[in-house]
Amino acid sequence: LASPEMFQKDPENRLLARGPRMRLSAEMIRDRALLVSGLLVDHVGGPSVLPYQPEGLWKELNGIFDYQRDSGDKLYRRSLYTYWKRTAPPPYMMTFDTAGRETCFVRETRTNTPIQALNLLNDVTFVEAARHLAERVLKDQTEDRERVSLAFSRALSRPPEAPEVQMLLENVAAQRTYFSANPQAAEELLKVGDSPFDKDLPAAELASYTMLANLLFNLDEFVSKQ
């Protein structure tokens, strides 16, 4: 939101200090999750990479070629370097309205659908990124209040307000109760993605904060340009 002072200093917006609120592009959302989690490989240049995508998708579409996923650092490079097959584009990017390659696009469309939320909740990239953000938070702070505030600040680039902190604390408490009673569920969650989880951290605690980070990635504020 533009303040009165901003309007006074730049009434015609020549300095581009304000603009319409809109959802980020598919590439930006993925890169943002990788960045705040600490997974993003910020290397410039090089060949295309093949990150996570549903198994068997290429085979089902053409019956000949199968998707040979990359590993290691290649999984966490910027979305700019993602390999693009015109007849089988990356499903995550298509869910978030990235432009296809059949025709030229002047401007990408922007939609809001339940499938997008399901993608953010379940896609391997975002679950793994949420776990890494949780690991960073657990290692940096020792108290729940400081931990949820740090996770919120890293994800949304602003400190949380008191009611937001309270809701996050309640969420962590509920998740902790569940994963303490269901250690197998915690372990299955922490195994998502190629990168190993930190076994020095309590599994139930790490799983609880992974779900918290996953929640933050699903906030409208995370996927939007204010």
Is the distance from CB of 158 to CB of 151 less than 8 angstroms? no
Spatial distance between the Cα atoms of 86 and 61, rounded to a whole number of angstroms? 12
Spatial distance between the Cα atoms of 98 and 96, rounded to a whole number of angstroms? 6
pLDDT given for residue 119 in this prediction = 93
Spatial distance between the Cα atoms of 9 and 19, rounded to a whole number of angstroms? 15
Spatial distance between the Cα atoms of 208 and 186, rounded to a whole number of angstroms? 8
Per-10-residue mean pLDDT, the chain, length 226: 82 84 91 97 93 84 79 94 86 86 79 91 97 97 96 96 97 98 97 95 98 97 89
pLDDT given for residue 197 in this prediction = 95
Task: Identify which of 71, 68, 205, 212 has the alpha carbon closest to the alpha carbon of residue 129.
Answer: 212
Q: Is 160 helix (H, G, I), strand (E, B) or coil?
A: coil
Q: Which own/partner contact pairs does 186-189 have at CB distance under 8 Å and 24+ positions apart?
A: 189/127, 189/131
- Alpha helical stretches, state H, the chain: 4-9, 26-37, 57-62, 91-95, 114-122, 124-140, 144-156, 162-181, 183-190, 203-217
Spatial distance between the Cα atoms of 215 and 95, rounded to a whole number of angstroms? 19
pLDDT given for residue 116 in this prediction = 93
Spatial distance between the Cα atoms of 193 and 127, rounded to a whole number of angstroms? 8
Which sequence spans correspond to the domains of the chain? Answer: 22-112, 118-225
pLDDT given for residue 1 in this prediction = 64
For residue 95, the Cα-to-chain-centroid distance in whole angstroms is: 14
pLDDT given for residue 107 in this prediction = 80
For tokens 């068997």, the residue is 56
How many Å is the Cα radius of gyration of the chain?
19
Return the DSSP state at 80: G
pLDDT given for residue 109 in this prediction = 83
Burial of residue 161 (number of CB atoms within 10 Å: 0-12, 13-18, 19+): exposed
What tokens were used for 222? 């995370």
Backbone angles phi, psi at 135, to 5 degrees: -65, -40
